[in-house]
Amino acid sequence: MPGAVDKQKRISVFFPCYNDEGSIAKLVEDSFETLKTLTDDYEVIVVDDGSRDKSRQILSGLEKRYRNLKLVFHQKNQGYGGALKSGFKAATKDLIFYTDGDGQYDVKELPVLLSLMSDDVDFVNGIKMARRDATYRIVIGNMYSLVTRWIFMLPVYDVDCDFRLIRKTVLDKLDLESNSGSICVELVKKSQRAGAKFRQVSVHHFERQWGKSQFFRFSKLLSTFFEILRLWVEMVITSRAMRPRSKK
């Protein structure tokens, strides 16, 4: 069974946000309510990646209510990877949790991940119990997870599940480059190479109630495909070619 939660743990929670006016406020509110039960040392960060709706006005209002809320505003959209990199850079606590700002995951399930973050674990990754999306998205998502897990030899089942708790000491070793959704593959693979120990746990996934996914557009899918290809060449093919051959 998972161990008891240690109230001394220092936790950063952050959300990448892009046109999430319908969901971001509840995520921030739920985060503060949840964190108060887990630790006395925490912060919540929202990285707004150039939203064009009312997300920024909502976030500015929340900043007046919550002392430990930090806002990062991108003047131009930098992509999902760019938003994650800004979130990791802004986070200052020992443990860093992130999930998407669209509300398809429940931040109140953070204690489940935290209970699995024992001393010998560095990275806790979620697994969607059941994906609550349109059928075509489920098919594409499952294929993406299967193919990337196989070609990169990833240590997690669901690389497409953006519900993660990671030690800052691991993230500090990484040089993340991707600006598209391919950053999730890069994050997991580079953490594995940095020596991170992984655990996984099932989490709920909910239907999107507000806005539209920015990922499932042809231009985004094409960009992600080429970044995945580049990562595969750099991290798998080139890496294998550079390994010294053992002498027989």
Span between the terminal Cα atoms of the chain, in Å:
47
CA distances from 20 to 78, 96, 104, 123 (A): 16, 21, 11, 27
For residues 219 and 74, the model is more confident at 74
The pLDDT-based confidence of 226 (bands split at 50, 70, 90) is confident
| pLDDT more than 90, % of the chain | 70
Given this structure, which CATH class describes domain 10-241? alpha beta
CA dist 123 and 105 (Å) reads 18
Rg (CA), the chain: 18
DSSP string, 89-121: HH--SSEEEEE-TTSSS-GGGHHHHHHH--TT-
Helix axes 79-90 and 183-193, enclosed angle (nearest 10):
50
pLDDT of residue 215: 53
**pLDDT exceeds 70 at position 213:** no
Looking at every residue in the chain, the average pLDDT score rounds to 89
Query: Residues 82-124: pLDDT tens digits?
Result: 999 999 999 999 999 999 999 999 999 999 999 999 999 999 9
Q: Do the Cβ atoms of 21 and 53 come closer than 8 Å?
A: yes
Q: How confident is the model at residue 240 (pLDDT cuts 50, 70, 90)?
A: low
String of b and e for 148-184 (b: at least 16 CB within 10 Å)? Answer: bbebbebbbbbbbbbbbbbbbebbeebebebbbbbbb
- Given a cut of 90, whether residue 11 has pLDDT beyond it is yes
The two structure tokens encoding residue 221: 């899918």
pLDDT level of residue 223 (50, 70, 90 thresholds): confident
pLDDT, residue 234, reads 85
pLDDT given at position 203: 97
pLDDT of residue 139: 77
Quote the Cα angle for 163-167-173, to 5°. 115
The pLDDT assigned to 190 comes to 96
What would the pLDDT profile of 145-190 be if each residue is shown by its tens digit?
Answer: 888 989 999 999 999 999 999 999 999 999 999 998 899 999 999 9
- Confidence category of residue 239, pLDDT binned at 50, 70, 90: low
Domain ranges, ordered by start, for the chain: 10-241
